[in-house]
């Protein structure tokens, strides 16, 4: 196994010495390279990276194949935020349990970033990005259950493109945003809408356990231009509820990352939720909700009563 943490000066994907990585120019052990080196060759090879459990063990794997019923995972040696290798040991995706693709230190979400969504809820479009947080305890993976919180009577779905951060960064300039992104995944910003309306703070409405499904994996082979124009679709029990494109965002992915890193440090594995298109609506116990994003995959969860 070979894992090497590259410093800001040595990494192929370097933000900036002073304003891209905390430490005022000093190398950081968390300034990981995000390139993948397969065991069979030295060339970089972008992949879909999943986190999964099998026989009580947790690992990362590169998702291989095109047909859903033929997908396999090539188990990764190491962690995906450092240089790492494919082991060559493969397991069928159908034999594992998918986990959240990352365990973020924090989830930074941006609200009202699609004009039609802001309008449908009677809100003004914000002049600047409008951020809030979802705790790490809200995160679940594809196939996990969304637990309907007992303090709400109006649970809503919100399909979103999620950005996964690949390296420690702060005060990232716009021209270096791509350097700090590890990849993209699907998200559902599940919201207790009635609680959101009556409480000024959104901590309970958007931060309750299981309110942040992520998955099914991280797609690392998307550039910013492509990610900025993808179809976002959500269905409930097979019926379409939301359909939009990331090109409809008011504030771009670059805007959001520049905005939040002006204030705080992002760590490898942190997640940025970029907003939801119009069409948000209610979920009931027993519903199956699926978020599909072009070029990434489908995140599926069932709603259950919290037991």
What's the pLDDT tens digit per position in 155-173?
999 999 999 999 999 999 9
Residue 25: DSSP 8-state: T
pLDDT value at position 200? 85
DSSP codes, 35-80: -B--TT-SS----EEEEEEETTEEEEEEEE-SSGGG-EEEEEES-T
Q: What is the pLDDT of residue 26?
A: 39
Residues 270 and 105 sit within 8 Å (Cβ to Cβ)? yes
- Enter the tokens of residue 56: 């009580």
| pTM across the whole model | 0.87
pLDDT value for 19 = 56
Q: In which residue ranges of the chain is pLDDT below 50?
A: 1-18, 22-44
The architecture of the domain spanning 107-305 is: Alpha-Beta Complex (3.90)
Other C-beta atoms within 10 Å of 287: how many?
A: 18
Q: Where are the domains of the chain?
A: 107-305
Picking from 81, 79, 66, 103, the residue whose alpha carbon sits closest to that of residue 295 is 66
What is the model's pLDDT at position 82? 87
| pLDDT (0 to 100) of residue 27 | 37
Q: Six-digit token pair at 120?
A: 């449908």
Residue 46's pLDDT is 55
């Amino acid at each position: 196994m070979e894992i090497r943490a590259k410093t800001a000066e040595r990494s192929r994907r370097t933000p900036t010495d002073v304003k891209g990585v905390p430490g005022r120019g000093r190398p950081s052990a968390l300034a990981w390279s995000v390139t993948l080196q397969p065991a069979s060759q030295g060339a970089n090879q972008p992949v879909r990276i999943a986190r999964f459990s099998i026989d009580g063990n947790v690992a990362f794997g590169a998702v291989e194949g095109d047909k859903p019923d033929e997908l396999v995972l090539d188990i990764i040696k190491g962690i995906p935020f450092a240089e790492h290798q494919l082991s060559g040991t493969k397991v069928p995706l159908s034999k594992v349990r998918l986990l959240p693709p990352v365990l973020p230190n924090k989830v930074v979400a941006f609200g009202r970033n699609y004009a039609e969504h802001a309008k449908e809820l009677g809100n003004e479009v914000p002049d600047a990005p409008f951020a809030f947080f979802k705790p790490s305890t809200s995160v679940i993976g594809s196939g996990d259950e969304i637990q309907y919180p007992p303090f709400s009577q109006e649970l809503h779905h919100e399909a979103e493109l999620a950005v996964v951060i690949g390296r420690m960064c702060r005060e990232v300039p716009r021209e270096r945003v791509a350097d700090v992104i590890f990849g993209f995944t699907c998200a559902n910003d599940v919201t207790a809408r009635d609680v959101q309306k009556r409480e000024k703070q959104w901590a309970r409405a958007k931060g309750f356990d299981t309110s942040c499904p992520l998955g099914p994996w991280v797609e690392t082979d998307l550039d910013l231009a492509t990610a900025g124009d993808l179809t976002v679709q959500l269905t409930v029990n097979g019926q379409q509820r939301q359909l939009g494109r990331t090109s409809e965002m008011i504030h771009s992915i670059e805007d959001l990352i520049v905005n939040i890193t002006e204030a705080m440090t992002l760590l490898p594995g942190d997640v940025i939720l970029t907003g939801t298109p119009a069409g948000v609506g209610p979920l009931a116990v027993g519903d199956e909700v699926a978020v599909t994003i072009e070029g990434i995959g489908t995140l599926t969860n069932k709603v259950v009563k919290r037991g």
